[in-house]
Amino acid sequence: MAIQLYNTMTRRKEEFIPMEPGKVRMYVCGPTVYNYFHIGNARCFVVFDAIRRYLEYRGFSVEYIQNFTDVDDKIIRTANETGMSPLEVANRFIASYFEDADKLGVKRATAHPRVTENMNEIIKMIEELISKGHAYVVDGDVYYATETFQEYGKLSKQSIEDLQSGARIEVSEKKRNPLDFALWKAAKPGEIAWDSPWGKGRPGWHIECSAMSRKYLGVTFDIHAGGHDLIFPHHENEIAQSEGANEAPFARYWLHNGFVNIRNEKMSKSAGNFLTVRDLVNQYDPSVLRFFLLSAHYRNPLNFSEELLQQAEQGLQRIQTCYEKLTYWLDRATADDPDTVVVEGYRERFEEAMDDDFNTADAISVIFDLVRDANTKMDAEHPHRAFVEAYHSLLVTFMDVLGFPLAKKDVSLDEEIERLIAERNEARKKKDWTRADRIRDQLAEMGILLEDTPQGVRWKRK
């Protein structure tokens, strides 16, 4: 079956057909780097990373671009408050972005372009917009003339009239129309600035994504993604800029993630109701945070609560324990009896869930079904090799697609456990009971329970 995805542009699920067979070009709006990111911001990084991984699993080669907004008002404000330069602020929080995103299992993008490194492309695009009559210069600022773009409002499904009466638009005497937005902002005295045909200044926020997506992905590309609040004005403005300058369609599919809420309100820096990933990882394994973020469909709101994080922790532990049991049986399972090995359509069900607009919540339920089934089979009988291999491989594959590398993570820990068990067996052979007991205690501290069985020592997590 083909992948169906919900396209914000058409407000319906559509079959995903990339421009070029086997290849996906995807752009995700990245962070403004002036702070550590919170678990709400993290949702966007994690869900689109999972979507990318699934597309790769389905055989696409994915060109994935995520930008850094490394110059803007908030960065300049932080710089002024801390005595750092804006670039120092940006560099510091780009480094911390990578540290935290790496922990969450977010793969590096194909490229992470930065505004300050793409000034030429940005200025060139603004020049094109001016020459095509889509933009005008006022006192060193450049504005996009929204009424020149007939389809303005097509993504957010608002008419220009509705938009004009909207409250979220910056009012400025320099603009011809309140909906117009800045492509270039003249520098205030002492502010970081770049030379341009309109004098010293810096780009507005929206133009960077139009310029950088064109540079890396071309004028038309497959998927453009970001948080739900970016639909308007950010993405609407990107469309006006890109289609205005390129005279070609921009992104073909628009994907937007829902918010992480806390006590029924959007988690946000300005509301002060946020928890950074940097802090949360002191309490929870980063994979638990990732599991929590993928536990809902990416478009639905997701409530943040300690209970839900604990549930995620338990769920992940259940999967981990099953994986360890399956790994244990990999070398010990008896030879095949093909008649008794039935792997119940798990792969089909997993793919069906993910094909349906990347429903990670349903995909995770399929994993839990597999775990329950595998546990029952392992508890009931001495498992057969074909069964163990099939379930082990399915579990590793599904978790890998969602960004939880089971195998890689635990090999060293498993080896360490096996080594300690071997050492304890040695000690017991030598009747060194003190040493044997000490190792048993050490393993208990690591959360490992030993079970002496006729087949030898088995271990499991508490």
Ligand X SMILES: Nc1ncnc2c1ncn2[C@@H]1O[C@H](COP(=O)(O)OP(=O)(O)OP(=O)(O)O)[C@@H](O)[C@H]1O
Binding site for Zn ion (CB under 5 A): 29, 209
**Shortest Cβ distance from residue 67 to ligand X (Å)?**
11
Closer to ligand X by CB, 18 or 286: give it: 286
Query: Which among Zn ion, ligand X, none contacts residue 209 (Cβ within 5 to 8 A by kind)?
Result: Zn ion
32 sits near ligand X (criterion: CB under 6 A):
yes
Query: Which among ligand X, Zn ion, none contacts residue 266 (Cβ within 5 to 8 A by kind)?
Result: ligand X
295 sits near ligand X (criterion: CB under 6 A):
no
Closer to ligand X by CB, 97 or 404: give it: 97
Binding mask 191-230 toward ligand X (x if CB under 6 A, else -) reads -----------------------------------xx-xx
Closest residue by Cα to residue 45 from 102, 126, 121, 95: 102
**Shortest Cβ distance from residue 115 to Zn ion (Å)?**
11
Choose, by CB under 6 A, the member of 75, 115, 142, 260 that binds ligand X.
260
421 sits near ligand X (criterion: CB under 6 A):
no
To 10 degrees, what angle do helices 360-380 and 286-294 make? 120
Distances (CA, A) of 214 to 124, 185, 209, 240, 344: 12, 22, 8, 14, 45
**Shortest Cβ distance from residue 204 to ligand X (Å)?**
15
- Largest Cα separation within the chain, whole Å, is 90
Residue 422: which residues within 8 A CB-CB, separation 6 or more? none
- Compute the distance between CA of residue 243 and CA of residue 438 in angstroms, rounded to an integer: 70
268 sits near ligand X (criterion: CB under 6 A):
yes
**Shortest Cβ distance from residue 5 to Zn ion (Å)?**
19
Residue least distant from ligand X (Cβ):
227
**Shortest Cβ distance from residue 256 to ligand X (Å)?**
8
- Compute the distance between CA of residue 289 and CA of residue 272 in angstroms, rounded to an integer: 20
Q: Which residues pair with 286 in a beta bridge?
A: none
29 sits near ligand X (criterion: CB under 6 A):
yes
341: left (phi over 0), alpha (psi -120 to 50) or beta: beta
Q: Is 28 helix (H, G, I), strand (E, B) or coil?
A: strand
Closest residue by Cα to residue 448 from 427, 432, 462: 462
Closer to ligand X by CB, 208 or 355: give it: 208
Indicate the residue type of 344. E
- Compute the distance between CA of residue 194 and CA of residue 189 in angstroms, rounded to an integer: 13
**Shortest Cβ distance from residue 233 to ligand X (Å)?**
13
299 sits near ligand X (criterion: CB under 6 A):
no
Residues that bind ligand X (CB under 6 A): 29, 31-32, 38, 40-41, 43-44, 226-227, 229-230, 259-260, 266-270
